[in-house]
Amino acid sequence: SRSEVLVSTGEINDLKVTEPDILLVMSQAAADTFVPKAKKSGVVLIDSTYVEDIPETKARVFAFPFSEEARSLGREAMANAIALGAIGSISLAISRRSLENTFKKTFTSPVREMNLQALDKGYKLGETETKE
């Protein structure tokens, strides 16, 4: 599946992403299709659990085992929340506080706590890369 989010401080004239600034890739098929299209100054985050061959790109690439980490929390579905935490940590495109508040408003217990734990795990993964 594919999802696009457009964020801009100015007017958005085109509703299709052609060169993503931030790209999250969760499968080999998605990597093959979208990584070469990432903006040169962009950031690509890859789920290394399922992506072994990373196509060539000029963007900065970070590979994390999002799905494997999610399994350690008990649910592979938490991979998206972990990835979102890593995106927040690496790109600073959205504040941690905003993400946490959104999770608190969106999810009810016990799913809320699981997602917040996954988000924290993602931030920690991202911080290991940004400190180097």
Q: Mind giving me the DSSP string for 31-46?
A: HHHHGGGS-TT-EEEE
Amino acid letter, residue 2? R
Largest CA distance in the chain: 42
Mean pLDDT of 21-34: 95
pLDDT (tens digit per residue) in 45-78: 999 999 999 999 999 999 999 999 999 999 999 9
All structural domains of the chain: 22-130 (3.40.920.10)
Q: What is the pLDDT of residue 22?
A: 93
pLDDT (tens digit per residue) in 72-124: 999 999 999 999 999 999 987 889 999 999 999 999 988 999 999 999 999 99
Cα gap 31→115, rounded to integer Å: 25
Cα gap 34→30, rounded to integer Å: 6
Count the neighbouring beta carbons within 10 Å of the beta carbon of residue 3.
7
Strand stretches in the chain, DSSP E:
22-25, 43-47, 60-64
pTM above 0.85, yes or no: yes
Count the neighbouring beta carbons within 10 Å of the beta carbon of residue 37.
16
Mean pLDDT of 17-31: 92
Q: Write down the H helix ranges in the chain.
A: 28-34, 66-72, 79-91, 96-106, 111-130
